Homo-oligomer: A and B are copies of this chain.
Amino acid sequence: MTGTLKTVAPTLQVGSARMPQSADGRLHAASALAVLGLTQASEWARHDWESPHWAAFEHAHQLSRLLSDFGAGPEPTLSVGEFVALAARTDTAPARRIQRRMEQNYARALSGDIHLAAEIAERNAEPLARSWLHARLESQDARRSLMSAAARHGGHGPVFGQLGSVSNRSVLGKDSATLRRERGVKQTRDGLVTDELRRLSYLDAATAAALDSAQVQGNEAILELHRRVAERERATWAGGLERAG
């Protein structure tokens, strides 16, 4: 294969600069330092990384010495986090441009800029990452639909939190706080795999549909219906697993 389809070595693009990246995502230090306008340090990283100058530079910037082979033997690398931290603390013209980019990026992230969300998702080469993103956004939509349906059927106050707890406990087998602790995430949804998100969407949507076709009114009746739907969903999922096993 030729043209746009040839396999290229991974690079990280920042503005118009491209830096070679190792298979585990670390940057070629000499290239990254050159992008920041740190010419002297870039030279050390390329030719003289066993010198005391480079050791002092590493120490001053708290860099981890992890070497990687980009085709010319082992060379120093920077994590993307180290590169960004260094860019934030460097006072050269190219580093200041990256600082402005960083600020714009943060302002766009805070504002929920959907173009930025798309750019970030497109940078992710993992084929399953998109399915996960879709499933996560779907699950948020389904949760909202469930809450609206509950409100239309006279749900109020605590029922909104309780519906979510029933869903989470039914699909995940534990409460959200336990899950966050076990999986080391700050937000529950960051810790869920695609199938868990799909099950949550399905369950929340199924109860929302059932509410709209049933004569159900008030917190107790809504929760009771949701618990029944949750029980059936668990049976469906488990039954599929048994037949597959």
Task: Report if A1 contacts B (CB, 8 A).
Answer: yes
B110 and A84 contacting across the interface, CB-CB below 8 Å: yes
Chain A residues touching B, range: 35 or more
A120 and B112 contacting across the interface, CB-CB below 8 Å: yes
Inter-chain contacts of A132 with B (CB < 8 A): 114, 118
B114 and A126 contacting across the interface, CB-CB below 8 Å: yes
**Do A109 and B109 contact each other (CB < 8 Å), given the known contacts A5-B147, A118-B133, A147-B4?**
yes
CA distance A114 to B103 in the complex (A): 20
Task: Report if A102 contacts B (CB, 8 A).
Answer: yes
Inter-chain contacts of A103 with B (CB < 8 A): 81, 84-85, 88, 102
Inter-chain contacts of A12 with B (CB < 8 A): 110
Task: Supply 17 A–B pairs (Cβ within 8 Å), ascending by A.
Answer: A3-B157, A3-B158, A5-B151, A85-B103, A88-B103, A102-B103, A102-B106, A105-B105, A109-B123, A113-B120, A114-B129, A114-B130, A114-B132, A114-B133, A115-B190, A117-B120, A118-B133
* Shortest distance from the beta carbon of A39 to any chain B beta carbon, whole Å: 22
CA distance A21 to B161 in the complex (A): 25
B99 and A109 contacting across the interface, CB-CB below 8 Å: no
**Do A125 and B112 contact each other (CB < 8 Å), given the known contacts A103-B84, A104-B81, A136-B118?**
yes
A124 and B118 contacting across the interface, CB-CB below 8 Å: no
Task: Report if A91 contacts B (CB, 8 A).
Answer: no
Task: Report if A156 contacts B (CB, 8 A).
Answer: yes
Task: Report if A22 contacts B (CB, 8 A).
Answer: no
A3 and B156 contacting across the interface, CB-CB below 8 Å: yes
Q: Mark A89-119, 1 if CB is under 8 A from B, else 0.
A: 0000000000101111111111111111111
